[in-house]
Amino acid sequence: MPKIEHCRLVELPKAYLLMNHGPVVLISSAHGGRRNVMAAAWTMPLDFSPAKVAVVVDRNSYTRELMEASGEFVLSLPPKAMAGKVLAVGSHSGREGDKFVAFGINTVPAEKVSAPLIAGCVAWLECRIVPEARNQESYDLFIGEVVAAWADERVFRDGRWHFAEEELRTIHYLSGGSFLVSGSAFEVSPT
């Protein structure tokens, strides 16, 4: 169990629920003593069991270099309170300098992969890349098998999101520094 307050295990077949509402994520990566973090909006759940996700990672990014070298990555879901840091790590490359230091981003060791979890986020998916050379080369598309998943029990418990406090809600990216925050939940029954 990662040493993060409120953090609870999410069963892997339920891991897709963490991504089902299309949040912006932070992708962290690490290899050979180097580590990095970037923002990503182009992500989606891909399968229940084994749990898989898909992410689009630009071929010029430092993240891509470390992901390909290590075969691993972590998706951390930032809440509204971290939007400024999301924009910062999505606007600078780790090749310019250590973004964790520059933007005051704290990490916690993951359980199954070398890339770290990002502190202050509300859910985390530890992933191993399922190599698909054509997708990676042609579309910058990476498939990750989720090997561990965690969520903050204040907002994700009993297999569903319970958004209340505005600052703990996940966010969605529009462009140019504009975000939406996750809104009110409502229920419908199939007719």
Q: Which residues bind ligand FMN (CB under 6 A)?
A: 24, 36, 38-42, 56-58, 61-63, 86-87, 90-95, 173
CB-wise, 7 or 72, nearer to ligand FMN?
A: 72
DSSP 97: S
| Pairing assessment for the beta strands 117-118 and 178-181 based on DSSP bridges | unpaired
C-beta of 184: minimal distance to ligand FMN in Å? 23
C-beta of 127: minimal distance to ligand FMN in Å? 15
Cβ partners under 8 Å of residue 148, min gap 6: 12, 110, 111, 112, 113, 125, 126
CB-wise, 119 or 179, nearer to ligand FMN?
A: 179
Note whether 29 and 67 are within 8 A (CB). Answer: yes
C-beta of 176: minimal distance to ligand FMN in Å? 9
Residue 124 β-bridge partners: 76, 150
> Which residue of the chain is nearest ligand FMN when measured via CB?
90
Note whether 117 and 34 are within 8 A (CB). Answer: no
- Residue 186, CA distances (Å) to 22, 163, 183 in order: 17, 12, 10
CB-wise, 14 or 100, nearer to ligand FMN?
A: 100
C-beta of 137: minimal distance to ligand FMN in Å? 14
C-beta of 44: minimal distance to ligand FMN in Å? 10
Give me 1's structure tokens.
């169990």
Note whether 37 and 89 are within 8 A (CB). Answer: yes
Using the structure block, give the residue that is written with the tokens 């040493």. Answer: 3
